[in-house]
Structures are given as C-alpha cells and as structure tokens.
Amino acid sequence: MDISELGKFGLISHLTDHIQTSNPSTIKGLGDDAAVLEYKGKAVLLANNLLLEGIHFDLTYVALKFVGYKAATTCFSDIYAMNGQPRQLSVSMGISKRFSVETIDELFMGIEYACERYGVDLVGVNTYSSLTGLCIGVTVAGEADRDTIVYRNTAKNTDLICVSGDLGSAYMGLQLLEREKAVHTGETDFTPDFAGKEYLIERQLRPEARKDIVELLAQNRIMPTSMMDVSDGLASELLHICKQSNVGCVIYEERLPIDFQTAMMAEQFNMNLTTVALNGGDDYELLFTVPLHLHKEMQAIDGIHLIGHIVEPEENAHLIARDGTKIPLVAQGWTKQNKYKTENE
C-alpha cells in the first residue's frame, strides 16, 4: 500500500491504534498534542537520538526491524547509563516516497519489540516527508530517585574503572557487513558468509541496553561514582569521564574484555585488536567507576570487568600495554579510508 493512501494521520493511526500503556506514570499517551506523564518524588530523565540513512544505517544489509530496534535500545541505554529506568518513548520519522506502509510496519515492529522487551510505553509518533531517505528521531523519558542518579563528573581518585560485556564486537560486525556488501556489489541474489560470526553481526544489528547490569549493581547495593554508556568507543567515553571529573586514569591492555570472534576477525582484517577494542564504538556497554574498597565485590559479579583505576589529573590518561609500556590514551574514530584518526583532527 502506498503511504499516500493513508496520509500522515492515517499512517500514525495504522501504526498505533493497538498500542497500550502499562506504566502508572503515563497519564496520557498517544492521540493528543503531547503525552502527559506524572512523577511523584522521582527525577525525570530525558534522552534523544537521531538515526540517518546512509550515516547510521545502510538498508542494503540492515533490515528495517533492526533499525527500529536499535533506534529505541540505544536511547534506552542513555537512561540506564544514569542509573535510571526508561519509561516512555516518542518517535519521529522522516519518510521518502520509496517506502510503503508495509516497510514502515517492519520498522515499527522493531520499535514495538524493543518497548515490550524493556517495559517502555510508546507515547508519541510523528511523521514527516524526507527527500534524502529515512531518518528516525527517538526521545525517551525515564525516572530515577534523585539520590541514585549517576553522572559523568563524579569519578574520584583511586576509584576502580569497570566495564560490562566485551568491546569491539559491534565494530567487527560492521566490518563484516561492509565486506559482504563490497564483495557482492551488483548482485541481486546472494547469501552472505556469516558462519561462525553470528555474535558479531547481532552485536552490530541488534545492540542491547544493559538493563541487567543496572539491576545487578542495585541488587548488590553498589552505587557507581560515575557512569556512561560506550557508544563512541571506550577511549572516547573514558576521556569524557576524566575531563568532566577532573581526574586522570590508567587502564590495562591485558584486562580489556574481548570476545574470541572479535579477536579472530581483527586478525583476518589485519587490524590492531587493542585499537578496535578501544575505539570501535556501538558496543552500548556500561563504563563506570566504583570506590576502591569494593574491589572484591566487583570481582564476584559476572559480566563486569575491572580494567583500571582513576588517578590524579596531572597523571593524565594512559594505557599500560602488555609489555608494561605506558601509552597516552587517545580517542580515535574510524574513517572511510580504513584508518583511525583522533577526535581533534
């Protein structure tokens, strides 16, 4: 069905007539000029994200349901990174004429599944015309007790540096997808070779917000001193914490958590594994600091890795290599020319 047959409001109704809310703080969801939320004794957290076709996703190899899922979960991740809970989501879409109602249904399938999986209410939808492809804007509202919100600027000297999960796998998944696209350019019927690499593909296409880590910390009565999610790469995020907290840091190469598939693919692509782990991005793990006296408690929690510690600001930020060499920590980004460059270039 052509979208013009439904029109803007007909499309919104088509996508949302079946949506129901479940959070008590949702007073009014879809169907008005704005959602109405009520929080008693809670702080409201707001996060937003924008995904652009050709920049953040390539529909040559990414199904629309994954685009929708990723748009939602990456925004949920921002709320968890402040030790909060996402409750409501509002989405805006820029849609070009090449998309049908059925394709937008697929996109919304991913958004709805993410909301259901994380217990978030969809409370707003808007659509616009686009001349340049598909774009998706997501805003998430969350809640937290004021005294449990965790910021980036509160890391302290001697704090332990922790990260959840593993690093670099999402980036290697992207490299696999880009390789298969290049190999099969011009072909209309082909089967990509992802055998034995499914984990990397899933990490890129369907990242998960680490709600479980926030719950684990709460269950163990551990309050991070600072926290943020790893979206732009571990090095970049750690330097943000150091700058905003006015501290330095030391992390250890041998302690960086790296999945076996990531290591194997980095070798195949002739990439430096440590550089991939530090700068790959799109991992959406949680990076946080805790007081030094919690060392034993942190070691006992599965899925959390101690990778270093906070130091005085004059010591700057460093990586200790496996051979003991002290290397300045630099945030880097990946370019189309297959080389890393620093953020300030």
Average pLDDT, the chain: 91
Q: Are 49 and 90 in contact (CB under 8 A)?
A: no
121, β-bridge pairs: 88
Angle at 311 between CA 313 and CA 148, to 5 degrees: 95
Domain ranges of the chain: 3-148, 160-342
Q: Pick the range with the lowest mean pLDDT from 33-42, 134-143, 159-168, 244-253.
A: 33-42
* pLDDT tens per residue, range 51-72: 999 989 999 889 999 999 999 9
pLDDT value for 345: 38
> Does position 91 have pLDDT exceeding 50, yes or no?
yes
Q: What one-letter code names the amino acid at 58?
A: D
Averaged pLDDT, 308-335:
90
CB atoms within 10 A of CB 264: 15
CATH code reported for the domain at 160-342: 3.90.650.10
pLDDT at 230 over 70: yes
Tell me the fold of 3-148: 60s Ribosomal Protein L30; Chain: A; (3.30.1330)
Residues 6+ apart with CB under 8 A from 339: none
Residue 188, pLDDT above cutoff 70: no
Taking the C-alpha atoms of residue 53 and residue 51, their distance in angstroms, rounded to an integer, is: 7
For residue 6, is pLDDT > 90?
A: no
CB 66, CB 134: distance < 8 Å = no
How would residue 33 be classed by pLDDT, with cut points 50, 70 and 90? low
Cα distances (Å, whole numbers) of residue 82 to 76, 91, 274: 10, 21, 27
pLDDT: which is higher, 123 or 132: 123
Q: How far apart are CA 97 and CA 131, in angstroms?
A: 8
pLDDT at 333: 57
pLDDT in tens, 137-174: 999 999 999 899 999 999 999 999 999 999 999 999 99
Is-contact 295 304, C-beta < 8 A? no
Whether the CB-CB separation of 81 and 289 falls below 8 Å is answered with no
Buried-state track 35-73, b at ≥16 Cβ within 10 A, e below 16: bebeeeebeebebebebebeebbeeebbbbbbbbbbbbb
Give the pLDDT band (50/70/90) at residue 190. low
> What does the pLDDT read at residue 177?
92
13-26: per-residue pLDDT in tens? 888 888 888 888 88
CB count in 10 Å sphere of residue 196? 10
The pLDDT of 133-138, averaged and rounded, is 95
Residues 190-219, mean pLDDT to the nearest whole number = 92
pLDDT of the residue at 341: 45
| Structure-block tokens of residue 17 | 């007539």
CA 272 distance to own-chain centroid: 23
Angle at 49 between CA 217 and CA 342, to 5 degrees: 85
Nearest to 108 by CA among 12, 3, 8: 12
pLDDT mean over 295-323: 96
Residue showing tokens 């690093």: 167
- Identify which has the larger pLDDT, 37 or 288: 288
Burial 128-146 (b: 16+ CB within 10 A, else e): eebeebbbbbbbbbbbbee
State the number of CA atoms in the 13 A half-sphere of 315 facing the CB. Answer: 14
Q: Are 225 and 242 in contact, with CB atoms under 8 Å apart? A: no
